[in-house]
Structure 1
């Protein structure tokens, strides 16, 4: 390779041409500086790009006559300001479809300004840390103009370009931008913990950069056989790959390989991907294709949002009328994960803005904001207050699930707002409350006769599930539980039974979970008798699950919670002919007390003695 430092820009570009600038951590800053320095009589060059980690000198107002910006993803303050001031345009597009804009001449490119590694002995340079849409831009542009950077890693995959394809080039050493792992706070840690609960061994992950992805990765150290098929990777994947947690053995697409389109992080990451045969950098139109994404079984897509409304609509690129970022690959991966066998599309976000003054779970999206991901796409929404499961849920159920994971300071207001539009019926008067004694995740895993179950609070969105549970009972079960034979469980009645003030009373259930499908098998509840500082407890168990210890486990949990709340006694009324339930209470320490009824036995447990 002979030395070349001067580029004859006048032979490559003319006024009004359109150029592409390399992406993410591979912005050819020295090359752009050279163009500005030697631009002479050039004017109105349209600049097209996605996220660019750079000082973005082309967006400086002093270059407004030279450059006209049309960004496909807003990132960096200089470009964001230019868009806000009307000096630059924003063109929304799925990342998987941006290459089509170049190839089909919707945005024909006269030149692609890119950064590459030095050529190898065969004359091939690597696009290094950013293949993404750079590959398509290079294939579509009339001219490829390259900055050859000796500090650019040589990555594997479809990342190579031959020197014969390059119209002009210059050698210029440039340090890649360093984005250190973020400092995590309590809220982000909690979100990461919740998301990790949705990730099974053998799953394939899509993660981005920022606090939430790093928090999620931090809670995966005890997982096994994870894979990666992701638009990008960051430092968080390194330790998991080194420890063998991410080994790609169970991937059903590109088995054995971590697949990505670009990486952003520290020098450690850039060194790690350099020549690493276990990581393949492939073009965005391939990696971000929802069809290809779905070929990974158990595909987990983790994305964030600016706000989510109570129907599940996701705002991700704008704050009101202000465009902030872009569509990027969010919809590509959410759709791909939804189509995947066992896949889970997840939106994860803090429940409020940083200062806690504004809820990010909102009754309706902010005026001027745009929906990036529709209410039909989202399966899970995760905040620091829990996991809202939305797939297959009605608008009413979605609203109640999302209110449950909103910040407690805003739940009453959110319920009041949705009731105005009848999304939640008038008889739904109570907002979701928490059972803090069950721990941060309000969930306990149970292993009963080699089957996995979950013990958790009953929630307002369980209205239909509780109806189904009721109608599964035999007449005998209903008689033993209610002491008469009720024939109907109306929506209003079911709503009352699931909309419990869990800080006063208590309602727990044991569910069998298959994906997002949950079936209630047991319900236990107590009602506080405040004047006696006592509570009355009752159970009902699905007939097919009796004799397996579910009632015993529910009783133990409720007893522990009542005791921790300072309740003095727990009591129960049981029909004399309900021998199994009497046995459970007696084994739980309840003592028979005098009672007037000839049909019922009254039992009591002292909670605070000893």
Structure 2
């Protein structure tokens, strides 16, 4: 019986496998067979006009260098690396937009028939099976479809579980050559991405299944998931952050409804520690992108959370992810696959997370209209959440007007007024919508606070213009008695104009806080607290109202505590409230916070004052 080792060759006989004009596939991500590329360049100089097809290639990408333009023409599904990007910009390379889940079909149905697939694999086991290791993604599909598989057998390639194996007998040629697997270090922390990570983590429930990419934002997200429980992974890629969550037991895949108990991915990219972690690890399974990225499969995971980034988002929710104006910059990749799958998942949440600005803060990534030449990757109908360092914009079920106000709220503050003015030109917001969203710096870098109350989770945040309809619903939920006690009279209604006025607050002067329940993309206002500034007296008047079924649970105390803290930080001298004398519960709340009764000539009202300590 012929030994497995004896089937290795010392060199590839290129003319016997390919000819001028052939189309070759190059292995993806951290599995680029650089030795085979070097051999092709040096040993097959008479073979020209080769089309090199690939996705992301973590390599020097020397085949894309100008000196080889008459030998190689690149056709890439994802622009990555300086050499490839420059080749695309100069017209020496083509970019083919395609969902990652559908790339394999271009090979199988011979839209792009492959003459050869140049891949890198692990050494064969005693039965002759080699593993594609760290990159199965579209490599398996390319290998199955190509006329010839030319393999670089790398002793340093991990053996990974799942649908990752090819038998050595399937190779037309194979050469053993050791090559270090390229590493991708964990991104450096920044205050911006750390805040984004905190906000995204708030959207992840215990028992959710996640899709994460690589870079500063995904790395930051994983750092804020360490207190979560029973998370799962179904992701086109995994990195060191996922490995650490698995090692700590945060990711155990116990609650997954598709491939329970297993982390499912198509490739991994990270440090040497990650590659050692996936080697012979039965808990991590690698499958082709056509399987992992198939939206119907993604949707089989309940509470599927997809986390992707963007170059810019317009105020209707359209996502630009592969181009900067007319310049193609990256690719569609798996974003649409996972956004679509997560949106169809029971309890799923498609999230776009990005810094609010680019070019050192000079350009807003939240834009009134897309840059000329830019293309939509993910449509406005797909995205449920957009997250920046300034908060979470909830878009599902929102009108164009509400979406615009939500997105302006998470734009950088210095661009908010201009964004509101710009969309007013297109009648996206009515004339009475005057105030653009403002933050409350005293709430800290993260403007949303998780508030556990009686075993339930609520969130405290600033009231903002996008809450107009939610505040109407809140008002009409009250009994007449609640309205009378809160407003000292019975309002006849809550028009859109009046509601808009109440949620359009300059939070640098007055303050309006709300406690909300979040059910998926639905926000329900449960309580509102306000203070109105009287600058001539360096004082503010305080009031609050709570939905009837939550009265007595402490929401008013939480709101008042935060308002006292804000007023103190702003150096106000006193806070006062005027309360109906029969409103005993509200009076009790104020008195618990050291508000003292003072004389009021109206016997039907109680006036209470608290003097604040000087902030120094």
TM range, smaller chain: over 0.9
Residue 131 of structure 1, CA deviation? 0.5
* Counterpart check, 1:33 vs 2:38: yes
**Which whole-Å CA distance do the structure 1 matches of 2:57 and 2:450 have between them?**
44
Q: Pick the aligned partner of 1:590 from 589, 595, 610.
A: 595
Deviations 1:383-431 (A, max 9, x none): 1111111111111111111111111111111111111111122211111
**Are the counterparts in 1 of residues 571 and 614 from structure 2 also a CA contact under 8 Å?**
no
Q: Secondary structure at the match of 1:300?
A: strand
Residue 457 of structure 1, CA deviation? 1.5
1:390-539 pair list within 5 angstroms? 390-539=395-544
- The corresponding residue for 2:350 is 345
Q: Secondary structure at the match of 1:585?
A: helix
Residue 470 of structure 1, CA deviation? 1.2
- The corresponding residue for 1:331 is 336
- Unaligned segments of structure 1, at least 5 residues: none
- The corresponding residue for 2:123 is 118
- The corresponding residue for 2:193 is 188
* Counterpart check, 1:23 vs 2:48: no
- The corresponding residue for 2:584 is 579
- Unaligned segments of structure 2, at least 5 residues: none
- The corresponding residue for 2:60 is 55
Q: Pick the aligned partner of 1:382 from 351, 368, 387.
A: 387
- The corresponding residue for 1:69 is 74
Deviations 1:225-284 (A, max 9, x none): 211111011122222212211111111111111111011112221111111111111100
- The corresponding residue for 2:567 is 562
Residue 450 of structure 1, CA deviation? 2.8
**Are the counterparts in 1 of residues 78 and 95 from structure 2 also a CA contact under 8 Å?**
yes
Q: Secondary structure at the match of 2:363?
A: coil
**Which whole-Å CA distance do the structure 1 matches of 2:27 and 2:530 have between them?**
60
1:140-159 pair list within 5 angstroms? 140-159=145-164
List 4+ stretches of structure 1 deviating above 3 A.
none
Which stretch of the first structure deviates more once superposed, 445-454 or 185-194? 445-454
* Counterpart check, 1:370 vs 2:375: yes
**Which whole-Å CA distance do the structure 2 matches of 1:443 and 1:276 have between them?**
39
- Name the CA shift for 1:355/1:596 in 2 (closer, same or farther; >3 Å): same
- The corresponding residue for 1:550 is 555
Q: Pick the aligned partner of 1:248 from 249, 253, 270.
A: 253
- The corresponding residue for 1:88 is 93
Q: Pick the aligned partner of 1:98 from 99, 103, 118.
A: 103
Q: Secondary structure at the match of 2:123?
A: coil
**Which whole-Å CA distance do the structure 2 matches of 1:491 and 1:159 have between them?**
58
- Name the CA shift for 1:451/1:166 in 2 (closer, same or farther; >3 Å): same
Deviations 1:363-396 (A, max 9, x none): 1111011111111111111111111111111111
Residue 505 of structure 1, CA deviation? 0.6
**Which whole-Å CA distance do the structure 2 matches of 1:305 and 1:123 have between them?**
43
Residue 354 of structure 1, CA deviation? 4.4
* Counterpart check, 1:298 vs 2:303: yes
- The corresponding residue for 1:163 is 168
Q: Secondary structure at the match of 2:422?
A: helix
Q: Secondary structure at the match of 1:528?
A: strand
Aligned residues: 610
Residue 40 of structure 1, CA deviation? 4.1
Q: Secondary structure at the match of 1:36?
A: helix
Which stretch of the first structure deviates more once superposed, 434-443 or 304-313? 434-443
TM-score, structure 2 length as denominator?
A: 0.96
